[in-house]
Amino acid sequence: MRKPAKKQTAAVAAGGVKPAKALGRKRDPERDGDFLEATLHILAEAGFDSMTMDLVAARVKAGKATLYRRWESKELLVRDALISMSRNSIEVDQLPDTGNLRDDLLAVVKPHSLEYSERKLKVLAGLGSFTTQHQKSYDEALAGIFGPWIEVNTALMKRAVERGELPEGADIAAACEVIVSMTAFRTSIERRQFDRESYVRLLDILIPGLKGG
């Protein structure tokens, strides 16, 4: 005699779909931040080519499997670490409103200690083959670094047009590109800090040009 089939669950019987497996533990954003911070430290100390996932996990005192559940490769981890470093330098969560464009643009850039700025330069100097052998991740990092800053600056300049501080025909897109290009040139090529004084000098040239003066 044939044995009766095992009783199906209600979900399978009704729709023919197996119940989903229970989800694992949710990712801890603070833990993610620890990994990203450790990555930046190692990039500054040893550079991308000498960095390993083992080194990052050891610095956080976590298992390598925990790290790989978050980032499947070293280049993706470095991409996100670079983006997080930039987010710590630029205020993108809310638009400043000082009453004039120059001060608004300056307010977007967060003040940092000399030690932080020096580490940032060391990180950029240590990228090594990341910029040439992992082009997709590098491009995504650049987009993540500069994209939000461009969006904020664009919004601030458009608001300046609305209040009559800039003319309707001001080339906002070009101005934002100049800011990003000068920042990248100074930090990546010249290996110098793009500090507040540097930004002030740039804006004192750029804003009169936007006004047509």
pLDDT digits (tens, 9 = 90+) for 53-107: 999 999 999 999 999 999 999 999 999 999 998 887 777 778 899 999 999 999 9
Domain ranges in the chain with CATH number 1.10.357.10: 93-211
pLDDT at 127 over 50: yes
pLDDT of the residue at 161: 96
- Please check whether residue 86 is in contact with residue 144, taking contact to mean a CB–CB distance below 8 angstroms: yes
pTM for this prediction: 0.76
pLDDT in tens, 155-193: 999 999 999 999 999 999 999 999 999 988 888 788 888
CATH superfamily of the domain spanning 29-81: Homeodomain-like (1.10.10.60)
Domain ranges in the chain with CATH number 1.10.10.60: 29-81
pLDDT at 27 over 90: no
